[in-house]
Chains A and B, each alone.
Chain A
Amino acid sequence: MRAIPLKSLASLAVLGLLATGCGQGLLGGGDSGDQAAKKDGPILLGMLIPQSGSEAAIGPYMSNAAQLAVDEINAKGGVLGRQLELKTADDACDAQSAAAGANKLVTEEVDLSVGGYCSGATLPTLPIFGKANIPMIIPAANSQELVDQKLKHVFLINGTGSQQAMAAEKWITKQGAKSVALMHDNTSYSKDIAVRTQTLLEVPGGAEPVITEAVTPKESDYSANITNVLDKKPDFVYWTGYFQEGGLIARQLRQAGYKGSIMVGDGSVSPKLMEIAGAEAAEGVYATMTQTPDTLEGAEGWIAAYKKKYNADPGPYSNQAYDAVRLAAEAVTKAGGTDGAKVIAALEAIDGFPMFSGPLKFTPEHTLASGGFQILVVKGDKFALQDALK
């Protein structure tokens, strides 16, 4: 019973936010004095991140890194003579909270959005920022759905499924593999990567995809699938699903006498993979993974600066959040102001901006044209960097 008043309170709050948002929009046009004040005031960057709920641990990694970038840029004189200011809001990794948070940021008149971790929570915020003409640089969320709508103001700087497939293909070819078996768990995410990798490998010459095998997730025994796969005598197996099955598959492949290479997708990069597979079977397993602070090359200085400021290690998506702010500053500089359309044009024109994921250029879809993924390898009880694929 208690839920109802709370819920209606929440929706009232949302309505209130919407109302104030509209009000300012309507009045804002005639108020030239306010605009003039805004031109000299700080450039506001809005950041939606989970600060509560199941993913709350991620929030500080992202907002701290973003604040670090803001402080560094401000120390160098800011952007176009104006200071940057970061405004965060909680999306709780939940669609409703995210919509409320996005409306709050719009009301606060942010100029750019540099947030978005959970894809499901980021999706409903796209039209909210879109209507307010606010460009979005999304640091972490990477579902294909975010770009499927082909929205002009949405840019992803984390790798997506197609980049993961490209990284996998690159490494498979580099390893000189002859015949490749692809295994997925039939979920859209995992199947997407497997099928894209297969398509990339189908180009004549180089490695040949010999089988694409689907398994049922949450089972224990994959011997039937593995017999199928080994029947085709592959020398490289790529699993694109999650770590629970990944660990079992690596172990059962080795038990079945498979001697070739094994690689897993980013869903399988977890210490539990080594536990489930056992140290012996896990050793030398490759993984396609987006950059994390502990696998970044040449980032020691950055990590030290982060540690000095926050007295803690950077975590997952710290680097992407940091880059999102730097990219926002770059785009505003190039655009000569914070006008939404000009910033979008500047982002589209960017070519070779240095980021942790490599030189940045966007595809027409507004995803990374290259980079975003690197190859890790299991060494002992952790994943270490094998090849940055730059």
Chain B
Amino acid sequence: MTQLVWNGLFVGSFYALVALGYSMVYGIIKLLNFAHGDLYMLGAFVGFAILGAVGGVSPSMALPLLLVVLLATMVVTGLAGVALERIAYRPLRRAPRLSLLITAVGASFALEYGMRAVAGADPQVYPVRLGGTAMEVLGARLTLQQLVLMGVAVVLMIALNLLVTRTREGRAMRAIALDPRTSALMGINVNSVISRTFFVGSALAGAAGVMAGAYYGKIDFMMGFLIGLKAFTAAVIGGIGNIPGTMLGGLLLGLLESFGTYWLGGEWRDVFAFGVLILFLTVRPTGLLGERVTERV
């Protein structure tokens, strides 16, 4: 039982990291950024490229090196997110919501098949791997590396929450989420705040990409597709636009999958997890912690 919980929490923390970017972007410009999962893929490949450029390292240096690579990748994917917003989304901000959605799907394909053109269709394998020997904690097998990865995820999520709730920047983000036009009248530079939101969200996805690459080892150009869907599900379950809710949604989705597999067998896992999504959308469309948004004129 503890093993199931641990499996669920570990996978869930990846979902949560990716879902946060989804949720932030939705919260601030009401856009479902379908290319978000592909920024996770981009992060995995950027990390792969940096590690390849660094060359061989001794296993003892693997963890510190990965942390440095993680930070560098976050900057690169963050900037990619900013560019994506500038090129694909900003010109369409006043266009109907559907045009934006279609553009997002287009951006997703562009990133996926662009990466296939650059890196090839074959899966790549990370040169530095976090394996580690397992230890037994309360009946669950886990490794030190898993704990470190989860620790990194938790630190990133706490930092994000502090940024949004405690800083001027965060206040500006929340103001734009409420009403972009009034925010502009109050002297907030709406465009640059939206850019920075994309930066933060994409950097988190990139971080998750590097962590997944280093832990699981295999990366390929389609790896962002499925996790993008999962992250969207997590965000909806938790309450899209709400940051603590999204984190909770990610962890909950991980647990749902873990227990769904156990109860119903592997072939029913996705039916179970996505069935829960449908249930949430019909019974509680605002998610666990989302608030009912009043209709704006």
Contacts and interface: CB of A to CB of B under 8 A. Distances in A.
Interface string B136-157: 0000010100000000000000
Interface residues of B, number: 33
Contacts of B269: 216, 224
Interface of B: 3-4, 7-8, 10-11, 14, 122-123, 125, 129, 131, 134, 141, 143, 212, 216-218, 220, 222-223, 225-226, 257-258, 261-262, 265-267, 269-270
A63 interface: no
B262 A228 contact: yes
Given A186-B267, A255-B131, A278-B131, A272 B125 contact: yes
Contacts of A248: 216-218
A224 B257 contact: yes
Given A220-B223, A224-B4, 20 more contacts: A213-B265, A214-B267, A215-B266, A216-B266, A218-B222, A218-B223, A220-B212, A220-B218, A221-B7, A221-B11, A221-B14, A223-B11, A224-B8, A224-B258, A225-B266, A227-B3, A244-B220, A247-B217, A248-B216, A248-B217
7 contacts: A213-B265, A220-B212, A220-B216, A223-B258, A224-B8, A248-B216, A248-B218
Contacts of A272: 122-123, 125
B170 to A, nearest CB: 32
Given A213-B266, A228-B265, A221 B125 contact: no
B131 A224 contact: no
A360 to B, nearest CB: 36
A251 B125 CA distance: 13
Given A256-B134, A257-B141, A275-B125, A224 B220 contact: no
Interface residues of A, number: 27
Nearest to B258: A224
A257 to B, nearest CB: 6
Interface string A256-281: 11000000000000001001101010
A228 B266 contact: yes
A145 interface: no
A227 B223 contact: no
Which interface residue of B3, B129, B270 has the most chain A CB atoms within 10 A? B3
A249 to B, nearest CB: 11
A224 B261 contact: yes
A225 B212 CA distance: 18
A224 B266 CA distance: 8
